[in-house]
Copies of this chain bind each other. A is one copy, B any other.
Amino acid sequence: MKTAAIIGGGVIGGGWAARFLLNGWDVRVFDPDPQAERKIGEVLANARRSLPGLGNVALPAEGALTFHATVAEAVQGAVWIQESVPERLDLKQKIYGALQAHAPADAVIGSSTSGYKPSQLQEGFDNAAQIVVAHPFNPVYLMPLVEVVTTAANPPEMIEAAKAIITSVGMYPLHLKKEIDAHVADRFLEAVWREALWLVKDGIATTEEIDNAIRYGFGIRWAQMGLFETYRVAGGEAGMKHFLAQFGPCLSWPWTKLMDVPEYNDELVDLIAGQSDAQSGHHSIRDLERIRDDNLVGMMRALSANDWGAGALQNAHDVSRMGAAGLARSMEEVADIAQPVLTQARVVPLDWTDYNGHMTESRYLDAFAQSTDRLMEIIGCDADYIASGGSYFTAETHIRHIDEVHAGQAIQVKTRVILGQGKKMHLWHEMYEGDRLLATGEHMLLHVDLKTRRSAPPAAHIEANLVRLATAQAALPAPEGLGRAIGAPR
């Protein structure tokens, strides 16, 4: 069990705490705010609701969360220390003084700072080598990006270790080798923010109109490709140079007001806060957080289905977790072929529920289909085999919905091979939440030639593996409900 220390709770520190905890780390928190435990608890509740189901493979058991009265106590045994105190350099440096007196010398001290350069954070410390910027994005438990900014004082092996830890908790370390105020992402956010303040102040658009201009247009584009790749595509066959030639001249046009900054005063604050209330005031912040997280999970899972962007990161994280979740990828990895094979260990994601408040019926088949895919990989019908022209198509499915399950609950699917002979593969899936049987799925699949789209015998090693499983499992009692028709008496 690894240990992270969280210095400073709040939305960002709480998000880091959740990220580590839900990935199996012990988390030790120092925050003098008497409300810290409540605040982190609220972030953690949101995280527990959304993160475990983001991927298709169960996360490890949660670590332990503890609160500590001193920095010295909080950092005991920590390999990662995340500082998320308010954005004041003197305060941060004071914290680093305490950290360097008590923390393990080889622990990473990551700062959540939005603006300070790592050299500013490191200045004056003996062990500057352990201090880096590790700037996350809210909600930290869902957003993968972490800007890792380093200086020459950070040894390469320490940087690599820090990046590996960030990756291991399902995040993406974007390593910036040259420091700059506000790093990269927040420079864009600040530019957009300044432009937005002008537009509101000058009465061109309200906060709601600006938000709609973003989320119905380039916001959707940027969720999957960034600025340059989007423009590369827009440039068409003629490519990036063509695009640049077209838009280069705009640089001299009055298309932004960013030569100047609007005065920050009460009038501007009231204008923006008032418009924001009119736009979103009918939702509580708690509601908005959940709406946001539902949307983020749904969209990231859509990207996972395409193995692209943040979804591709999630898929890689899932694959890295399969062994730990007990999921075999080959016959050799199956614990006992004479028993039903574990073919799924996951948490019901937010996007699998419906208006009845439970997992919706088609997601039972989605889960069973993923279990079939897992079994196919185990017997050798993997991506390479499919690319070579053979696969299994489902001919018939019978599902019994026995009990309800809700988003956030951990489910497992165990799979039996009833028959594996010639072109036929007859499977029986049982879905459980703990010992509670939720559903059964009986499936008849046929092996097909992907060129002719007709049934055809599988490769010999695949049939042999199927026969091995069916034979080994034949000694088990027949599953209750096998071969049942709808409406037939039990």
**Is A187's CB under 8 angstroms from B255's CB?**
yes
Q: How far is the CA of A363 from the CA of B220 in the complex (A)?
A: 24
Partner of A356, one of B211, B232, B450: B450
**Is A222's CB under 8 angstroms from B214's CB?**
yes
User: Of A96-104, A120-128, A301-309, which binds chain B?
Assistant: A301-309
Q: How far is the CA of A300 from the CA of B295 in the complex (A)?
A: 10
User: Of A16-24, A56-64, A277-285, A339-347, which binds chain B?
Assistant: A277-285
Q: How far is the CA of A32 from the CA of B438 in the complex (A)?
A: 64
Q: How far is the CA of A306 from the CA of B485 in the complex (A)?
A: 35
Q: How far is the CA of A391 from the CA of B143 in the complex (A)?
A: 36
**Is B401's CB under 8 angstroms from A395's CB?**
yes
> Least Cβ distance of A176 to chain B in Å?
6
A243-262 interface code vs B (CB 8 A; 1 in, 0 out): 01111111111111111111
User: Of A153-161, A198-206, A323-331, A465-473, which binds chain B?
Assistant: A198-206
**Is A261's CB under 8 angstroms from B253's CB?**
no
A204-216 interface code vs B (CB 8 A; 1 in, 0 out): 1101111111111
**Is B223's CB under 8 angstroms from A222's CB?**
yes
Q: Does A66 contact B (CB under 8 A)?
A: no
Partner of A232, one of B184, B196, B258, B276: B276
**Is B295's CB under 8 angstroms from A303's CB?**
yes
Residue ID in chain B nearest A249 by CB atoms: B264
Q: How far is the CA of A365 from the CA of B398 in the complex (A)?
A: 11
A296-337 interface code vs B (CB 8 A; 1 in, 0 out): 101111110110111001000000000000000000000000
Identical copies in the complex: 2
**Is A255's CB under 8 angstroms from B483's CB?**
no
Across-interface contacts of A207 in B (CB, < 8 A) = 227-229
Across-interface contacts of A6 in B (CB, < 8 A) = none
Across-interface contacts of A254 in B (CB, < 8 A) = 181
Q: Does A476 contact B (CB under 8 A)?
A: no
> Least Cβ distance of A92 to chain B in Å?
15
Partner of A210, one of B210, B228, B362: B228
**Is A356's CB under 8 angstroms from B391's CB?**
yes
**With A220-B143, A299-B303: A310-B215 Cβ-Cβ less than 8 Å:** yes
Residue ID in chain B nearest A193 by CB atoms: B227
Across-interface contacts of A190 in B (CB, < 8 A) = 250, 255-256
**Is B194's CB under 8 angstroms from A194's CB?**
no
> Least Cβ distance of A425 to chain B in Å?
12
Across-interface contacts of A188 in B (CB, < 8 A) = 192, 195-196, 213-214, 218
**Is A247's CB under 8 angstroms from B426's CB?**
no
**Is A486's CB under 8 angstroms from B264's CB?**
no
**With A185-B217, A199-B184: A210-B226 Cβ-Cβ less than 8 Å:** yes
**Is A485's CB under 8 angstroms from B226's CB?**
no
> Least Cβ distance of A439 to chain B in Å?
10
Q: Does A436 contact B (CB under 8 A)?
A: no
Across-interface contacts of A260 in B (CB, < 8 A) = 259
Partner of A488, one of B252, B296, B306, B483: B483
Q: Does A241 contact B (CB under 8 A)?
A: yes
Q: How far is the CA of A229 from the CA of B253 in the complex (A)?
A: 30
**Is A217's CB under 8 angstroms from B115's CB?**
no
Q: Does A105 contact B (CB under 8 A)?
A: no
**Is A302's CB under 8 angstroms from B228's CB?**
no
Q: Does A459 contact B (CB under 8 A)?
A: no
Residue ID in chain B nearest A181 by CB atoms: B254
Q: Does A219 contact B (CB under 8 A)?
A: yes
Across-interface contacts of A240 in B (CB, < 8 A) = 272-273, 276-277
Residue ID in chain B nearest A179 by CB atoms: B204
Can you list 16 contacts pairing A with B, beta carbon distance less than 8 Å? Answer: A145-B217, A182-B255, A191-B258, A192-B227, A197-B251, A219-B224, A221-B292, A232-B280, A248-B269, A291-B308, A355-B386, A355-B391, A362-B369, A393-B401, A394-B401, A485-B488
In order of increasing CB-CB distance, the 9 nearest A-B pairs are A211-B226, A219-B222, A298-B302, A258-B258, A145-B217, A223-B223, A224-B295, A485-B485, A214-B226
Q: Given A145-B216, A147-B213, A355-B383, 8 other A-B contacts at CB below 8 A?
A: A143-B221, A184-B205, A192-B192, A215-B223, A225-B292, A225-B295, A236-B285, A244-B272
